[in-house]
A and B are shown apart, each in its own frame.
Chain A
Amino acid sequence: MHTPGSSAALSLRGLSKAYGQTLAVDRLDLDVPRGSFFGLVGPNGAGKTTTLSMATGLLRPDAGTVHVLGHDVWSDTVRAKQLVGILPDGLRLFDRLTGLQLICYSGLLRGMDRRVVTDRAHELLDALGLAEADGVLVVDYSAGMTKKISLACALIHAPRLLVLDEPFEAVDPISATTIRQILEGYAASGGTVILSSHVMDLVQRLCDRVAIVAAGQIRAEGTLDEVRSGMTLEERFVDLVGGQTDVGEGLAWLRSSSD
């Protein structure tokens, strides 16, 4: 029997989630091909975080299925979770651990060997430019350092699929370049990346496939050029999602020149 989307790295079918009366994700279907660098864009509240949480086993969907490389996340949980690395947005970390301890914790929780975990942790800290801060408590890290240490935690077990929710939010250009290089190297070696972002420019530069989400549904999906259809991604996005308000003559009191 053919498992749905077994050729895809991530396959979502009829995924739905409601919070009370609000439908956050509405029968969403999505296939992320293996080896692709996939960008998920959408306005605030479009359901990106909810979708990615359900795709990684952090949030139970009301309906629908999720398969990671052919393994059902909600029945073959352990196997599926071994294949995925996650960087969630807006969730805390065990921030009383040092950077090194936090990475090792993620590895050890997955039952990895301590030698392997420590070696990889040091390599990751070096690559991310955190080697100096390995003994500092994560609570004392800056926003950019926190993103980088989260990425390290997502990579420690060499996952086949990386799910990153807003990996570039609050990250300075230098750290962003570091993160980008690591992700590009990971994708070039056959890994699959799916990330959500507000920064169209970045998605345009990094991703080879894009999906635009609004109101819990996919509005457009395909290769970057298919989705753009001749425009820039930003124009296409505004075009599809709409709702831009014209400020016009409002907020007159805000103009200090009127004094």
Chain B
Amino acid sequence: MVALIVGLKWQLLRNGLRRSTPQLVGMIIAVLYGLGVLTVALSGLIALRFALPSDVARTVIIIGGSLVMLGWAILPVLAYGIDETLDPARFATFAVPRRQLVIGLLLSSLVSVPAAVMAILGLATVITWSRSLLAVVVAPVAAVVAVLTCVALGRVTSTASFAMSRRRRGKEALLFLMLLLSLGVGVAVSSIMKRASSPGLLPHLADVLGWTPLGLAWSAPADIVDGAIGSGLLRLALGLVFLVVMLVAWDSLLRAALENPRATAGAAPATRNTGLGWFGRLPPTPTGAVAARSIVSWRRDPRYVASVVLVLVLPLGLLLPALTGGDSAWTLAMAPVAGFMLGWSTHNDIAYDGTAFWGHVATGVSGRADRIGRLAPTAFAGSLLLPGYAAVSCVLIGRWSLWPALFGIGLGFLLTGFGVASVMSALRPYPVPGPGENPFGAPPGSSALTVLVQAVAGTAVFVLNLPLLGVGIGALMGNVWMGWLCLGLAVVLGSGALALGTWWGARLYERRAPELLADLSRIR
């Protein structure tokens, strides 16, 4: 049964790639990138064995391994989503014993580029630890435990976040948790950075991490090499216990999905909403209708939660150094970062419509209305956040004269981002989780595509704003008039980019609307 499930994953992956070119491209990029990481990290692990003393190996592997495990736990929720080709709910009608299902799904998770790379590197730590016979015996066991724990953690956090995002108050709770978590990570990182220069910090950190769930399995062979056989075996046993706890947690989350599979497909319980809502408030034009529909989607569709988290949390993270008594200069970046993130966040907006996009094609709505309407939710958020964040920075720095420059840079990023997004979302949609699917899931190959497309969009926005940044820096140097010049320039350049982007995007849209719909039915 377990082999069957793993085989199913492999088959689905192959067939999916055959069907969708963007996914294939994403997969090729992911594989190339993975190979790069693999080469560098492998040579590092070998060097740790032969060129460096064992206490360095200990520090590097425990800290590195713990970071990797932390990444598996939070990145699926924060950024890239997790590969959920095998949606557990689809097994609801088959009489698969749950224990076998859990093991099968866990092992099938290894059939993906990041998991495979990590598995190979995990096993390669055996080379690093090949300093004694017992270590060579313990290291592979510890590596397997560590790798499986990473994969299980990723599934647990993404399944749990999905379950939360479907509850009425869950979305807010989730936002709050994410905020707390990133604040915690931020505080930890900034306090480590502050003491980074003091000698013995990193080995000390490794000692601490080695007793946390993140580092237990990674540190077991290190102890064995050092001759602390008892504590090494203890860590391995505790690591195993943590893995089992994760599996039990995942199992109980799975049980919810299996016994109530409709809940995965559906949304929040039926609620009555009277009247037209946003459709009655915005102008009764096609543009207004698209805007109202976008706002409703951002509010009701859990898939947008991830975007909201990112846009809200990231700029707030910049407050940390100031709050922990460090350098408050970072807070200057709040408004610009928020503008940057918000601006191009709709660059794949059509993909979130899925095939429901046919409604736009069938009604022959103009490209202009489609392009501009889709910007409404982020424009609304930007009009509140940018002046607010800029003001917060000024309060913390104690220089109100910086406000026009900070707001100006944020506004410039926002408007040019809108222009870039308007063009990109009419070019070619790339795969995203479908409506009702786990918003923290990601079809195979899509993460690499996401990174690539976002890099392109981000670079485009950044380059377009270089003149603005120049003037902004001038304002930071103390030239108050340059701040106002920056704001004026942002309005002029930004509206120019916005007008050009929506015009070009609208042209593309009108020429390619049926092709976009065909792309959407292919990637779904």
Chain A residues packing against B (C-beta within 8 Å): 56-60, 77-78, 81-82, 84, 86, 88, 90-98, 100-101, 104-106, 108-111, 113-114, 117-118, 134-137, 139-140, 153
- Docked-complex contact B273 and A135, CB < 8 angstroms: yes
A and B contact pairs by CB, cutoff 8 A, 17 listed:
A60-B514, A60-B515, A82-B364, A90-B355, A92-B435, A94-B297, A94-B356, A96-B301, A97-B293, A97-B296, A100-B275, A101-B276, A109-B369, A135-B272, A137-B271, A137-B273, A140-B267
Q: Is the interface of B mostly helix, strand, loop or mixed?
A: helix
For residue B128, give the distance in angstroms from its CB to the closest CB of chain A.
49
For residue B431, give the distance in angstroms from its CB to the closest CB of chain A.
15
Residue interface mask B285-321, A partner, CB < 8 A = 1: 1101110110011001100000000000000000000
- Docked-complex contact A108 and B356, CB < 8 angstroms: no
The 9 closest A-B pairs by CB, nearest first: A114-B284, A108-B289, A81-B364, A109-B363, A91-B355, A92-B356, A135-B272, A96-B300, A140-B270
Chain B residues packing against A (C-beta within 8 Å): 266-267, 269-277, 279-280, 284-286, 288-290, 292-293, 296-297, 300-301, 353-356, 358-365, 369, 435-436, 514-515, 517-518, 521
- Docked-complex contact A96 and B267, CB < 8 angstroms: yes
- Distance, CA A97 to CA B290, complexed state (A): 12
Given A78-B364, A135-B272, A153-B359, 12 extra CB contacts under 8 A: A59-B517, A60-B514, A86-B358, A88-B358, A90-B355, A94-B359, A100-B275, A108-B279, A108-B285, A117-B284, A134-B274, A139-B267
- Distance, CA A106 to CA B279, complexed state (A): 11
- Docked-complex contact B364 and A108, CB < 8 angstroms: no
Residues of B within 8 A of A95 (CB): 356, 435
Residues of B within 8 A of A111 (CB): 285-286
Given contacts A96-B300, A104-B279, A137-B270, A59 and B518 within 8 Å (CB-CB) = yes
Q: Which of B288, B358, B361, B521 contacts A108 (CB 8 A)?
A: B288
Residues of A within 8 A of B435 (CB): 92, 95-96, 139
- Distance, CA A137 to CA B274, complexed state (A): 11
- Distance, CA A118 to CA B279, complexed state (A): 10
* Most chain A Cβ neighbours within 10 Å, of B266, B272, B369, B515: B272
- Docked-complex contact A104 and B363, CB < 8 angstroms: no
* Most chain B Cβ neighbours within 10 Å, of A88, A108, A136: A108
Given contacts A108-B288, A140-B270, A101 and B277 within 8 Å (CB-CB) = yes
- Docked-complex contact B297 and A98, CB < 8 angstroms: no
Q: Which of B271, B273, B353, B365 contacts A94 (CB 8 A)?
A: B353
- Docked-complex contact A58 and B356, CB < 8 angstroms: no
- Docked-complex contact B364 and A92, CB < 8 angstroms: no
